[in-house]
Amino acid sequence: DAGVIQSPRHEVTEMGQEVTLRCKPISGHDYLFWYRQTMMRGLELLIYFNNNVPIDDSGMPEDRFSAKMPNASFSTLKIQPSEPRDSAVYFCASTAPMGVGLFFGEGSRLTVL
Amino acid sequence: KQEVTQIPAALSVPEGENLVLNCSFTDSAIYNLQWFRQDPGKGLTSLLLIQSSQREQTSGRLNASLDKSSGRSTLYIAASQPGDSATYLCAVSYGGATNKLIFGTGTLLAVQP
């Protein structure tokens, strides 16, 4: 299996622009998580899905952030409009039930100028 | 509030030394605990997963222990190698099979050749 695949790996954009990050979970995994990592705050859970349904979005910082999972093999995290404080590495992770552990993608490094 | 703390924040050891990384959590009602490794610019790689009913897990030179009553876990690395240099994070799940993890801030390990 190719693992969790994220794109783009790097994104540099200007404040106010829309940013879309993409994730393909491991086939057969029915849980998908979006995390954000910064030096100041470490790893923070933004939102997670089960069977394509958002279960907990309490970590989404504000309405500028939205996430979708239209099918079992694809999810997006969108920031509109982006701000410099959104600069971080965004990770997608997936897992199956029964405690098999969490598998992370390589991350998308976002820089908002 | 459920918090996960890792001590020390950074550690430098000579090659060949055995070492212990510490993780503590405030709420002992965990579902499982996971240790991850993160290399610079990369995602997180799962090292060991300990279910709440287990006391330890071993993989090669790594051994992780769990003491729920005291809210502590340790990661023991035997005969350290320069290739072990990375950030090690522990994460605790309180979400049942959802693996909704709360991460510690990590320990940055440098193994000197």
Please report, in tens digits, the pLDDT of each residue of chain B (113 residues total).
Answer: 788 999 999 999 999 999 999 999 998 888 889 999 999 888 899 999 998 899 999 999 999 999 999 999 999 999 999 999 999 999 998 866 555 788 998 999 999 99
Name the interface residues of A facing B (CB cutoff 8 Å): 4, 31, 33, 42-43, 45, 48, 50, 55-56, 91, 93, 95, 97-107, 109
As a whole number of angstroms, the distance between CA B7 and CA A28 comes to: 36
Q: Which of A35-39, A56-60, A95-99 has the lowest mean pLDDT?
A: A95-99
- Residue A41 banded pLDDT, cuts 50, 70, 90: confident
Residues β-bridged to residue A111: A12
H-run or E-run covering B59: strand B56-59
For residue A98, what pLDDT band results from cuts at 50, 70 and 90? low
Q: Which of A5, A49, A94, A102 is best to mutate for the B interface (most B CBs within 10 A)?
A: A102
Residues of B in contact with A31 (CB under 8 A): 98-99
pLDDT at A2: 78
- The pLDDT score that the predictor gives to residue A88 is 97
The predicted structure's pLDDT at residue B96 = 63
- Judged by CB atoms closer than 8 Å, whether chains meet at A99 and B103 is answered as no
Mean pLDDT of A27-37: 93
pLDDT of residue B2: 81
User: What pLDDT sits at residue A16?
Assistant: 96
- Give the pLDDT confidence score for residue A74 in this predicted structure: 96
- Tell me what the mean pLDDT of segment A23-41 comes to: 93
Of A20, A39, A17, nearest to A84 by C-alpha is A17
B42 contacts on A by Cβ (under 8 Å): 106-107
pLDDT of residue B10: 96
Instruction: Report, in this order, helix, strand and coil percent for chain B, each rounded to 5.
Output: 5, 55, 40
Looking at residue B94, its pLDDT comes to 81
Query: Coil, strand or helix: which one is B96?
Result: helix
Least confident range from A12-16, A62-66, B28-32, B109-113: namely: B28-32
pLDDT at A84 over 60: yes
A1 or A94, which is more confident: A94
With cut-offs at 50, 70 and 90, classify the pLDDT of residue A85.
very high
**Cβ contact, residue pair B34, A106, below 8 Å:** no
Which phi and psi (to 5°) does residue B82 adopt? -55, -30
Mean pLDDT of chain A: 93
Give the pLDDT band of residue A62 (cuts 50, 70, 90).
confident
Phi, psi of B49 (to 5 degrees): -125, 125
Cβ contacts below 8 Å, chain A against chain B, sum to 55
Chain B positions in Cβ-Cβ contact with residue A33 (cut-off 8 Å): 99-100
What is the least distance, in Å, from the CA of A33 to any CA of chain B?
Answer: 8
